[in-house]
Structure 1
Amino acid sequence: MSTETLEKTEGGAQSAEGASPYITATFRIRRFNPEISADAIWEDFQIEIDPKERVLDALHKIKWELDGTLTFRRSCAHGICGSDAMRINGRNRLACKTLIKDINPEKPITVEAIKGLTVLKDLVVDMEPFFQAYRDVMPFLVTTGNEPTRERLQSAEDRERFDDTTKCILCAACTSSCPVFWNDGQYFGPAAIVNAHRFIFDSRDEAGEQRLEILNDKDGVWRCRTTFNCTDACPRGIEVTKAIQEVKRALITRRY
């Protein structure tokens, strides 16, 4: 374990009251580089940062000014792309939505890759199994007949039926928080079921039965143990467990 300290470079910015807004925070990051070692290690970095900034800002600061080899994913940095999901203080979160002041910066802040997927380097995991499960549930509108000459209309009530599950950003926070998925990577996982739900309950779609049969598989929706980890982990506030239960009910009643 090594410790490095970054001196404040903002020219000693002071607040109106004369006190510096910066604190010294320790970030304890789980590092893994298969080109160096088969084992992961924890490495500490101390930085001075405004606690109102985000964990993503801290990771940028570490990468740009302390250790350029630190590897993580991010894109939009505004909670829309979902690419910077990671375990922060033991919970799945988006680094771009997590404020440092909200995670007790008086103690070391732990950051590690999400669980259940193979770590490629540092905080980056292999997302292919996750996206394969997503593709397997046919996450697109299926209709028959001729192509329409106008848009397919839908009532506000019909749209509301699946509105919650349209919010998914495929960050994998829910799936990688699921203990069933940790133990068996063949399980479709919450995110795939949520995206199947989005089309099963869409009044314009005609492949609901087909998706239900896909999820009726031994690795499908019945593997869910209703631990609510997925709902707690979702950064978009989707009621993931509720959506899974609705898919189970649809399988039993064939009403959706």
Structure 2
Amino acid sequence: MASGERWVVLRVRRYSPEERRAWVQEYRVPLRRGMTVLDALLYVKQRLDPSLVFRYSCRMGACGSCGVLVNGEPRLACQTQLASVAGDSGVVEVGPLPGYPVVRDLVVDMTRLFENHRRAKPYIIRRQPREVEEAPREFLMTPRQLLEIYQFSLCIMCGLCNAACPVYHSNPRYLGPQALAQAYRFTVDVRDEAPEERLALAASPDGCFGCHFAASCSAACPKAVDPASAIQRLRSIALRASLGLWRKKTSPVAPPLEKPLRRVEASYPTENLVEGADPEEEAKKPVLLDIDPEEL
């Protein structure tokens, strides 16, 4: 160990489905500048224990694959700086996300999340399906209408919000903050014409009215989607719709252009661009690169 080098102890909660055994295993990892929890797990995988199993992909907080429990909090391993969670003790506890069945070590089964996401119908529905399938023109939307849904469209389906939700753990029928946030996102999307279908699902006891408003989902979200806010807004819409006080205003398809597009033929120069230069002779000359051949 180099002089002055700091080390961190990873306490990883592991699970073997063949042995049906769970245990905690410790690994010593050198702490380097800019090192993330995912970097530490990769160090263990590559140098200490190749049997450690975890999930990751993009390493830049875009895919949501590397969600784990770090010191008791759901986090993306690739976005969590190791130094920020090591503290003075130099110990970091890493485990699988709660609320999901554990497949092996840090990998969990997220089937429930994907099924509930599918039940929320996270896509544009029009009364005339041909408007979406053929899409002759775009649907009209103002910048303000876009801002109403933009924040909730940033979800990367990492599952951290569900892992932080106490209701999601206690009620296996609860849709969860991820699915409800997407239900709200498409319910208020002016391009969509099927809010009743999502409200019927979201207004059930296992939907937005099952939320206890702990707001832990929004605290855990790495993309600031704020699913707790979406759930409360969805609850308000469901109540007003049940009293006949809410009607959705949908956007039409953009009309045809008033003037047809003018076809422009591209033309390219055929004469020499440099006076006195012969393109054929220039092509025969070797290209001189100011680069050391050893660096190639």
Task: Give CA-to-partner distance per residue, 1:139-171, whole Å, 9 cap, x none.
Answer: 111012242411112110111111110010000
Residue in 2 that maps onto 1:229? 216
The 5-angstrom pairing of residues 96-245 of structure 1 reads 96-107=78-89, 108-145=91-128, 146-147=130-131, 148-245=135-232
Contact 1:51–1:100 under 8 Å retained in 2: no
Which amino acid letter does the alignment assign opposite residue 81 of structure 1? C
Residue in 2 that maps onto 1:77? 59
1:95 paired to 2:77: yes
Measure how far apart 1:228 and its partner are: 0.9
Task: Give CA-to-partner distance per residue, 1:13-34, whole Å, 9 cap, x none.
Answer: xxxxxx75x4200000000011
CA distance in 1, matches of 2:166, 2:145: 33
CA distance in 1, matches of 2:64, 2:23: 26
Farther off after superposition, 196-205 or 97-106: 97-106
Partner of 1:162, secondary structure, is helix
CA distance in 2, matches of 1:123, 1:158: 40
CA distance in 1, matches of 2:88, 2:105: 24
Task: Give CA-to-partner distance per residue, 1:78-119, whole Å, 9 cap, x none.
Answer: 000001111101100000000011113432100000101100
- Rg larger for: 2
CA distance in 1, matches of 2:58, 2:148: 29
CA distance in 2, matches of 1:43, 1:185: 30
CA distance in 1, matches of 2:62, 2:119: 23
Residue in 2 that maps onto 1:58? 40
CA distance in 2, matches of 1:235, 1:194: 14
Partner of 2:29, secondary structure, is strand
CA distance in 2, matches of 1:69, 1:186: 34
Partner of 1:120, secondary structure, is strand
1:68 paired to 2:57: no
| TM, length-normalised to structure 1 | 0.89
Measure how far apart 1:237 and its partner are: 1.1
Equivalent pairs: percent with the same residue? Answer: 33
CA distance in 1, matches of 2:225, 2:120: 19
1:44 to 18, 22, 26: 26
Measure how far apart 1:39 and its partner are: 3.0
Task: Give CA-to-partner distance per residue, 1:207-239, whole Å, 9 cap, x none.
Answer: 111101011222111110000110110001122
| TM, length-normalised to structure 2 | 0.78
Contact 1:113–1:122 under 8 Å retained in 2: yes
Contact 2:117–2:178 under 8 Å retained in 1: yes
Contact 1:51–1:99 under 8 Å retained in 2: no
Which amino acid letter does the alignment assign opposite residue 67 of structure 2? A
Structure 1 stretches of 5 or more lacking a match? 1-6, 13-18
CA distance in 2, matches of 1:68, 1:125: 19
Partner of 2:40, secondary structure, is helix
Which amino acid letter does the alignment assign opposite residue 111 of structure 1? V
Farther off after superposition, 233-242 or 73-82: 233-242
Contact 1:23–1:51 under 8 Å retained in 2: no
Partner of 1:43, secondary structure, is strand
CA distance in 1, matches of 2:50, 2:21: 20
Structure 2 stretches of 5 or more lacking a match? 249-296
Partner of 1:63, secondary structure, is helix
